[in-house]
Amino acid sequence: MEKQQKSSHVVLVMVTFQGHLTPMLQLASLLHSKGFSITIVHPEFNSPNPSNHPEFTFISIPDKLTESHFSDKDAASPVWNLNKNCAAPLQQCLEKILHSLHHIAAVIYDTLMYSAQPITEDLGLLGIVLRTGSATTMLFYPAFSQLDEERIDFVYEIKSPELQALQLKRLRALLSQNATKAMTEVRVAFANVLKRSSAIIVNSMEFLEPEALSKVKQYSPAPIITIGPLHKFAPAICSSLLTEDDKCISWLNKQAPKSVIYVSFGSIVNFDKEELIEIAWGLSNSKQPFLWVVRPGMVRGSEWIESLPNGFEESVGERGCIVKWAPQKEVLAHAAVGGFWTHSGWNSTIESICEGVPMLCRPFFGDQHLNTSSICNVWKIGLELQNLERGNIERTIKRLLVDMEGNGIRKRAIDLKEKAAFYLMEEGSTSCSLNKLIKHILSV
């Protein structure tokens, strides 16, 4: 599709958590390449650096968030507070933009910033939601909306192998455990937003989630547009909130092909010192080279890696490389990487799929459990690590990288990589979906 006139102005409402900020910036870059002018409205918390993106206009709004709003026990609390605190400033901001430009083609907002939808309705604007997780997560939304277990029966009763392999009943039970008031309210808000938005953008590909997409489309009044993987459209976008240590690439260059286990649990996960010790000895005892991302503050009660056990560094020597943050897309594309030990966040999952890297999955919360089920049970391109005990870690790493079992996993991972590349071709499904989005934006 030819580029649009720059007068077509799109406002993107961003949530500044790493896993949400990245795909929104990638989408902004993609739309800008098609001729749209871009304004990004974002909370002050974790503000992106505007100098990294001179082609966009950035506007921050007060969010009143502090570290006290963040808790391992209630991941929904900061989201609830974010929407409560940002609703009025967001409305004022959009009104000001509208007064200045006289026209906004669309407002695209992150699912987590659900307060944007009623504001766009009040202002008569086109509201489009970006779902930064998988399409499969939306299977649960009817139940969340009605707060009624019977509303999800239609999913459980489907005889499709894909949906049965997801073990949705078990996952629904996990999601229901220790559900706080904030969690319940946020989930209901998610469901209502997906009913009221004019379209839903999903960072995925049709071939990855065909049965789930088919089922979600049955109850979603809005069109679902799968535009993914977004990181392949905007590979050079600078979105990391942490400083990437690219020295690890030099270390990878010295390793044998497909020998390295890359370990990263994303930007939010925290765990105890005891778990760090088990992970350390599991990596050491596996005898495989490893690149391990340990974020500062990731281990509760520690600044960085001072809690590593005595004798660990001597036992691994040059076989191990520990960094505070890594250029993940470059790491996954490196010939030396043979496996990815991941928390199963959606961005990490889809980045790994696109590079044909099999996964070792250790989910911690939320949709990570569902993504793990897709990786291990549906696509069968990974193994789930259910017990963080050094012996189990050692055995599972060897199963993935050394044993015969890993051969089939690697082959299926490569097959998915090739399918993804086909979808990304100039006339592929993803390009068609992008054209569909542009037409939707320009139709109003």
- Tens-digit pLDDT profile for residues 135-193: 998 887 766 655 444 455 555 555 677 777 877 776 666 666 667 788 888 888 888 88
Q: Residue 118: which pLDDT band, with cuts at 50, 70 and 90?
A: very high
Contact yes or no for 316/284 (Cβ under 8 A): yes
Across the chain, mean pLDDT equals: 89
Q: Residue 220: which pLDDT band, with cuts at 50, 70 and 90?
A: confident
**Distance in angstroms (rounded) separating the CA atoms of residues 414 and 407:** 11
Angle at 203 between CA 207 and CA 132, to 5 degrees: 135
Domain 9-229+425-442 has CATH 3.40.50.2000: yes
Region 364-392 average pLDDT: 94
Does residue 296 carry a pLDDT above 50?
yes
The DSSP secondary-structure symbol of 322 reads E
Q: 58 phi and psi, to 5 degrees?
A: -110, 135
**Distance in angstroms (rounded) separating the CA atoms of residues 248 and 263:** 12
- CATH topology agreement for domains 9-229+425-442 and 247-421: yes
CB neighbours of 218 closer than 8 A, spacing ≥ 6?
Answer: none
Tell me the domain boundaries of the chain: 9-229+425-442, 247-421
Contact yes or no for 36/104 (Cβ under 8 A): no
pLDDT given at position 99: 93
pLDDT given at position 148: 46
Region 355-362 average pLDDT: 98
pLDDT tens digit string along 337-352?
A: 999 999 999 999 999 9
Q: Indicate the range of 68-77, 84-93, 95-104, 189-198 predicted with least confidence.
A: 68-77
pLDDT tens digit string along 5-23?
A: 445 999 999 998 888 999 9
Tokens representing 144 are: 């969340």
Does residue 280 carry a pLDDT above 90?
yes
Q: Which fold has domain 247-421?
A: Rossmann fold (3.40.50)
**Distance in angstroms (rounded) separating the CA atoms of residues 77 and 58:** 26
Angle at 372 between CA 371 and CA 373, to 5 degrees: 90
